[in-house]
Amino acid sequence: MVLIFRSLKLIVFVLILLFSYSCSTFKEYFALSHSAKDKKMSQTSYGKNKPKFDQDRKSHLFEAEDFEDSALFETPDFSSDTNTLIESFDFADSTFIFSNSKMEDPRITQELLNESRALYMLDNLTTLKFFRDDETLFDKNKLNIYNYDEAFVPKFSDSVYQSRIEIMNRKTPLEFVYNETVKGYIDVYGIKKRGLSSRILGLAAIYFPMFEELLDQYNLPLELKYLAVVESALNPLAGSPAGAKGLWQFMYNTGKVYGLELNSYVDDRYDPYKSTIAACKHLKDLYDIYEDWWLVLAAYNSGAGNVNKAIRRSGGIKNYWAIWPFLPRETRGYVPAFIAVAYVMTHSAEHNLYPTHPGILYNAIDTVQVYDVLTFDRISEMIGISKENLKYLNPSFKEGVIPATKDNKYILRLPRTLTAYYVSKEEEIYKYRTETELEKEKLMAKIKEMPKYQIHIVKRGETLGGISRKYKTTVSTIQALNNLRGTTIHPGQKLYVSGVPPTNIGKSSAATASSNNTNNTIHVVKKGENLGLIASKYKCSVNDLKNWNNLVSNTIHVNQKLIVSKSAEAVAGTASQENQSTSESDGYIYYIVKPGDTLWEIAKQYNGVTVEGLKKLNNIKNTKALKVGQKIKITTAG
């Protein structure tokens, strides 16, 4: 019995040895077969992508040897560890080796920096106003925790950069990396363009709180706030040659997709708040597609189409660093720039960088609501702010016009020091018209009237019959348009010959005036009378008679009705103006400044007179420098 049991154990042991040998042989065969298959697949993938490599070979960013077959598909020696063998082929089949080698090449890094749009935007910060370059936003002594000398420029080793970035990774879902390209951008922001980086830090104090609040509302990583730095260097007026606008650099069509108002007067891409909301929505949509934040940023920069194309060319790998060679050149430097910006702004104290004071942009701007159409010209004249500053604070209004209505209100940004004054004068501002606006309104009125009627000035010897034939109409039509009972006309008389004349225009000037105000005194012209005699009789001037009766010359006719005295109400309407004004021999009407007078108050008292006109006429530069008793010119007399 014992012998039988020992025999069975021996048989089982032999079977186990045979099975193990078979498995080992199969494993080695499978590994060799699978490796050969992987190599074939790798070569097939390379064949498909070779045209792209050929195109990049012509680029000065790459060397010719980078595209040799051996550089991409070197076959490692067989080892006894078949698992390692399979993994090595899988790695060789990817584009990581190629991407990493290029991103570590200092020459390629420099080429990407030279063509970087992020650095183009950074350089544009030199044109921004309001900065106080000799003043930091906060107490520099408190910010300088390392007690650096003011002119000291810290530089660190690769290991220090790497260590700090690894610490940053513990606080964000974004996977920051460090390589030669990232280091190149760190050198730009932290060393070469330190002054502009300090300006960015100053602007960040304005915009980052709003960015973080909205990013949090949309459940997005707060570190995405640095994207606006790469896109625009936080310049609210930023624009790219390709047509992108504003802090988040939206293209026209993308802005429309995310609800930004874009028309001839308004461009919401320049509105910091509205464009940030649109950016959050866009980033959230892109993450739903790629589920990788670096691919999201690449798509934000170059468009989803370019990213999808790069993914296909890389064999379907959804990884920014893997598809890096297949992306547009600008996008190859985009994520490294983002990482560098995040690093430098997080470690600004370590680099002896402090926020430059952005002037009134920081905590000195207030907003008011606009509910009717306003122009920058009108606001500028009324509250004493330059149109240039208004444009900078309100870049959304492209033409300097705020097309507001009661149902569609807009927000106007003003220096806080002027907000209260604006509110106190708000109703007057809406009613006020600048000299340019008045001229425009008069022109528009004439244009509106032109198609309505046509006028003919009667010449000596003309008859209604001849005039009617000239204008291809009838005598009865001219009589009806002008309220004529007979065919008698006089030289200089205005006749409407077509269209629809203004109400009561067809009647004589005297009759018209009488219908408008029955209290006017009317005189019927008698044979032998002229305007001089009539004016003397009624104690008025010839100019008064001509103005009251719309006469273009001194010619009058028997039985013509003339207004020779205005009603008391009409006289009272001009009394205050006459009492405060004097006409002198130099041909100007003057006004004597009284206590509390302003140019705005004075201009309101005279038809057609504007603040700008008074300033030019009297060579006034400071509107607040008026003195009581000062005599200022209003307009020319006569």
pLDDT tens-place string over residues 313-329: 888 889 998 898 889 98
Intervals of CATH 1.10.530.10 along the chain: 107-127+140-359
Q: DSSP assignment, residue 239?
A: B
**Model confidence, pTM:** 0.57
Out of 23-27, 234-238, 355-359, give the one with best mean pLDDT. Answer: 234-238
Task: Concatenate the DSSP letters of all residues of 82-123 into one string.
Answer: HHHHHHHHHHHHSSHHHHHHHHT-HHHHHHHHHT-HHHHHHH
pLDDT of 1 > 60? The answer is no
Strand locations in 372-529 (E): 374-375, 401-402, 410-415, 453-457, 494-499, 521-524
Over the stretch 110-140, which tens digit does the pLDDT of each residue have?
A: 777 777 777 778 777 777 766 776 667 677 7
Q: Residue written as tokens 């009617």?
A: 468
Residues forming a β-bridge with 498: 454
Residue pair 358/203 in contact (Cβ under 8 Å)? The answer is yes
What is the token pair recorded at 43? 């070569």
Over the stretch 616-636, which tens digit does the pLDDT of each residue have?
A: 888 887 776 788 778 888 877
| pLDDT of res. 512 | 39
pLDDT of 230 > 90? The answer is yes
Over the stretch 199-209, which tens digit does the pLDDT of each residue have?
A: 999 999 889 99
What is the token pair recorded at 88? 């090595």
The rounded Cα 469 to chain-centroid distance in angstroms is 58
Strand locations in 164-310 (E): none
Please compute, for residue 325, the number of CA atoms within 13 A of its CA located in the half-sphere on the CB side: 29
CA of 74: how far to CAs of 36, 71, 617, in Å? 13, 6, 85
Measured from the Cβ of residue 151, the count of other Cβ atoms closer than 10 Å reads: 6
Residues forming a β-bridge with 239: 245
Give the separation between CA 308 and CA 298, rounded to whole angstroms.
10
pLDDT of 430 > 90? The answer is no
pLDDT of 56 > 50? The answer is no
**Lowest mean pLDDT segment, chosen from 6-15, 319-328, 334-343, 412-421:** 6-15
| pLDDT of res. 260 | 94
Residue pair 130/308 in contact (Cβ under 8 Å)? The answer is no
439-501 CATH pick, 3.40.50.1100, 3.10.350.10, 3.30.390.30, 3.40.50.620: 3.10.350.10
Give the separation between CA 364 and CA 195, rounded to whole angstroms.
23
- 507-566: CATH homologous superfamily? LysM domain (3.10.350.10)
- Let me know if 528 is exposed, middle or buried by CB neighbors in 10 A (0-12, 13-18, 19+): exposed
What is the token pair recorded at 487? 């065919």
Give the separation between CA 248 and CA 236, rounded to whole angstroms.
9
- Let me know if 593 is exposed, middle or buried by CB neighbors in 10 A (0-12, 13-18, 19+): middle
Q: What SS3 class is residue 39? A: helix
Residue 502 banded pLDDT, cuts 50, 70, 90: low
Over the stretch 543-586, which tens digit does the pLDDT of each residue have?
A: 778 777 777 677 888 888 888 876 544 444 443 444 445 555 56
> What phi, psi does 75 have (nearest 5°)?
-90, 120
Residue 89 banded pLDDT, cuts 50, 70, 90: very low
Judged by phi (left if over 0) then psi (alpha if -120 to 50, else beta), residue 37 lies in: alpha
Residues forming a β-bridge with 245: 239, 250
Q: Which has the closest alpha carbon to 116: 179, 61, 35, 51? A: 61
Q: Are strands 132-136 and 356-357 parallel, antiparallel or unpaired?
A: antiparallel
Percent residues over pLDDT 90 in the chain: 32
Measured from the Cβ of residue 224, the count of other Cβ atoms closer than 10 Å reads: 24
The residue count of the chain comes to 638
Q: What SS3 class is residue 439? A: helix
| pLDDT of res. 140 | 79
Residue 387 banded pLDDT, cuts 50, 70, 90: confident
Q: Residue written as tokens 């528009």?
A: 444
Residue pair 499/452 in contact (Cβ under 8 Å)? The answer is yes
Contacts of 324 (CB under 8 A, 6+ apart): 95, 99, 102, 103, 332
| pLDDT of res. 36 | 42
Q: Are strands 132-136 and 581-583 parallel, antiparallel or unpaired?
A: unpaired
| pLDDT of res. 327 | 92
What is the token pair recorded at 48? 């498909």
Intervals of CATH 3.10.350.10 along the chain: 439-501, 507-566, 576-636
| pLDDT of res. 315 | 84
What is the token pair recorded at 174? 């974004």
Q: Which has the closest alpha carbon to 49: 331, 326, 329, 320? A: 326
576-636 CATH pick, 1.10.8.60, 3.40.50.12280, 1.10.3720.10, 3.10.350.10: 3.10.350.10
> What phi, psi does 318 have (nearest 5°)?
-95, 75
Task: Concatenate the DSSP letters of all residues of 273-314 into one string.
Answer: HHHHHHHHHHHHHHHHHH--HHHHHHHHHH-HHHHHHHHHHT
Higher pLDDT, 24 or 162: 162
Please compute, for residue 429, the number of CA atoms within 13 A of its CA located in the half-sphere on the CB side: 21
107-127+140-359 CATH pick, 1.10.530.10, 3.30.390.10, 1.10.3720.10, 1.10.20.60: 1.10.530.10
What is the token pair recorded at 513? 């005036």
Q: What SS3 class is residue 135? A: strand
